[in-house]
Copies of this chain bind each other. A is one copy, B any other.
Amino acid sequence: MGYPALLLLLAVLVPRNAVALRPVLKSLGDLHLISSTSQSAIVQNYSVLYFQQKVDHFGFNYLQTFKQRYLISAKHWEKDGGSILFYTGNEGDIVWFCNNTGFMWDVAEELKAMLVFAEHRYYGESLPFGADSFKDSKRLNFLTSEQALADFAELIRHLKTTIPGAGDQPVIAIGGSYGGMLAAWFRMKYPHMVVGALAASAPIWQFENLVPCDTFMKIVTTDFRKSDPNCPKSIRRSWDAINRLATTRSGLQWLTKTLRLCNPLTLDDVQHFKQWILETWVNLAMTDYPYESNFMQPLPAWPIKVVCQYLTDPNVSDSQLLQNIFQALNVYYNYSGQAECLNISETASSSLGISGWSYQSCTEMVMPFCANGVEDMFEPFSWNLKQFSDECFNQWGVRPNPSWITTLYGGKNISSHSNIIFSNGDLDPWSGGGVTKDISDTLVAINIAEGAHHLDLRAYSAYDPASVLLARSLEVEYMKKWITDFHYGARRQQ
């Protein structure tokens, strides 16, 4: 083995390198953000509005406000028996989420629903301090999930009091990924604001030791193994092959040329180079959709199958193996055939807010990850909180509080809540930190066998597997019940 685990860890799990080097930590953070949900982004008809929010909901000394952006469409809204579907925006541009959350547009008519998409503070245009929002820890102080939930509560109150007829409509929170966590937490903390929540691919248990830290990478590996058992073997072998080649100048040159990298690979880049590859495999696992899609990158249907066609034989020479790896990476980075070279600084959509999420993962959103290289296809690395904390302090001037999310939102002890649907795709590595078993009659899990990251929130496709069609129809049934119960309760009170 070239690098000992500890050295790898040093390079891999540190937030300092997050923006510059995109280590595993950040790659996971970034990937988590992927929430494009339609086969190809559909530009929808909506109004763009802004709502004045307090920068600090939890104190009275800081009087500044900012404009939160939100999108609204009332095309199918009917006051009689209708509803409001409220997307709890996550870490990115809300227009991107809106145009890519086809499910809400698909069900609007059936649920007589007004659609609202609320942008998360510090993302998109909703910047509390404009261009200075990320300048220092003082300005970043108000980037927390609690403040975001309070934004949603104030916005809903505003909508209900200003839109005629909206006051007596049931609101349902909907979100995917981190947005799914927010939807679930919003129902938990503000159940008077929403009658229920659809939390799609929401890894609310990817904190502390609620799930083993190696779960995520195991699921990624399983996805590749399903296509071909030799595929993860090839990938597992590739790390050492890179390490061996990287020891010589000619090896580095050969890698640069063979993988058509945009910039010459240096010894200092090697860790980052491997992380970029790791991130690519993780991205593919999250976006292993049954049809051609295009959000972070244009991809073929079932992209892992396509990737693994190049990785059927692990027992080839280092150079042959890495030529195969190049072919596999090319599926992700050059499906269009337009890419002249591969840029190891790019993997995700520019619509995502990488800096914001880096800060959040250094404060509240502390998600432990690790790999052992045996049950997964990665170089081993462990979770080191101390190191993580030090690097967060170096980068942002703050230290993470890894137990806070559990203290605040309850960890696994959430059975007293109600009306939350937790949907997860079996192919999605984030499902490992999600709720995949019913907790009660009203806290229900929907598992989608052929689903990657919140496939259910994507627009209908003729290529959708039966499992996601069933999931969506169940979700609609639950939502209809919440809406009916609400209107029935309201009529009884009259």
The chain B residue sitting closest to A58, CB to CB, is B58
The chain B residue sitting closest to A398, CB to CB, is B60
A157 near B416 (CB under 8 angstroms)?
A: no
Q: What CA separation (Å) do A190 and B192 show in the bound complex?
A: 15
Across-interface contacts of A356 in B (CB, < 8 A) = none
- One digit per residue, 1 when the CB lies within 8 angstroms of any chain B CB and 0 when it does not, for chain A 383-417 equals 00000000000000111010110011111011011
- Identify the interface centre among A61, A137, A364: most chain B CB within 10 Å of its CB: A61
Which residues, 110 to 169 on A, are CB-close (under 8 Å) to B?
Answer: 137-138, 140-142, 144, 146-147, 150, 153-154, 157
Across-interface contacts of A4 in B (CB, < 8 A) = none
Q: What CA separation (Å) do A190 and B185 show in the bound complex?
A: 12
Q: What CA separation (Å) do A397 and B417 show in the bound complex?
A: 39
B410 near A142 (CB under 8 angstroms)?
A: no
A416 near B147 (CB under 8 angstroms)?
A: no
From the candidates B59, B190, B363, name the one contacting A142 in the complex (CB within 8 A): B59
The chain B residue sitting closest to A419, CB to CB, is B416
B153 near A408 (CB under 8 angstroms)?
A: yes
B398 near A144 (CB under 8 angstroms)?
A: no
Q: Is A260 an interface residue (CB 8 A)?
A: no
B58 near A147 (CB under 8 angstroms)?
A: yes
B398 near A141 (CB under 8 angstroms)?
A: no
From the candidates B141, B154, B403, name the one contacting A60 in the complex (CB within 8 A): B141
Report the interface size for chain A: residues with CB under 8 A from the other chain.
41
A141 near B417 (CB under 8 angstroms)?
A: no
Nearest chain B CB to A334 CB, angstrom units: 40
Across-interface contacts of A62 in B (CB, < 8 A) = 141
Nearest chain B CB to A196 CB, angstrom units: 10
Across-interface contacts of A142 in B (CB, < 8 A) = 59
Across-interface contacts of A153 in B (CB, < 8 A) = 407-408
Specify how many copies of this chain sit in the oligomer: 2
Query: Provided the pairs A153-B407, A407-B153, A407-B157 are in contact, do residues A398 and B192 lie with their beta carbons within 8 angstroms?
Result: no
The chain B residue sitting closest to A156, CB to CB, is B407
Q: What CA separation (Å) do A141 and B410 show in the bound complex?
A: 26
- Identify the interface centre among A59, A363, A414: most chain B CB within 10 Å of its CB: A59
Nearest chain B CB to A171 CB, angstrom units: 12
Nearest chain B CB to A444 CB, angstrom units: 16
Across-interface contacts of A90 in B (CB, < 8 A) = none
- Identify the interface centre among A397, A398, A404: most chain B CB within 10 Å of its CB: A404
Q: Is A236 an interface residue (CB 8 A)?
A: no
Across-interface contacts of A398 in B (CB, < 8 A) = 60-61
Which residues, 275 to 290 on A, are CB-close (under 8 Å) to B?
Answer: none
From the candidates B141, B403, B416, name the one contacting A191 in the complex (CB within 8 A): B416
A144 near B58 (CB under 8 angstroms)?
A: yes
Q: Is A418 an interface residue (CB 8 A)?
A: yes
From the candidates B192, B401, B404, name the one contacting A411 in the complex (CB within 8 A): B192
Across-interface contacts of A480 in B (CB, < 8 A) = none
Q: Is A305 an interface residue (CB 8 A)?
A: no
Q: What CA separation (Å) do A57 and B62 show in the bound complex?
A: 16
Q: Is A67 an interface residue (CB 8 A)?
A: no
Q: What CA separation (Å) do A144 and B57 show in the bound complex?
A: 11
Across-interface contacts of A417 in B (CB, < 8 A) = 191
Across-interface contacts of A150 in B (CB, < 8 A) = 408
20 pairs of residues in contact across A and B, judged by CB atoms under 8 Å:
A58-B144, A59-B142, A60-B144, A60-B399, A60-B401, A61-B137, A61-B138, A61-B141, A61-B397, A150-B408, A153-B408, A154-B407, A157-B403, A157-B407, A190-B410, A191-B416, A192-B409, A192-B413, A416-B418, A416-B419
Q: Give me the 8 closest cross-chain CB pairs, A-B, nearest first.
A: A192-B410, A61-B141, A192-B413, A191-B416, A60-B398, A59-B141, A60-B363, A61-B137
- Having A60-B140, A61-B138, one finds 15 other A-B pairs with CB under 8 Å, namely A58-B144, A59-B144, A60-B141, A60-B363, A60-B364, A60-B398, A60-B401, A61-B397, A150-B408, A153-B408, A157-B403, A191-B417, A192-B413, A192-B416, A416-B419
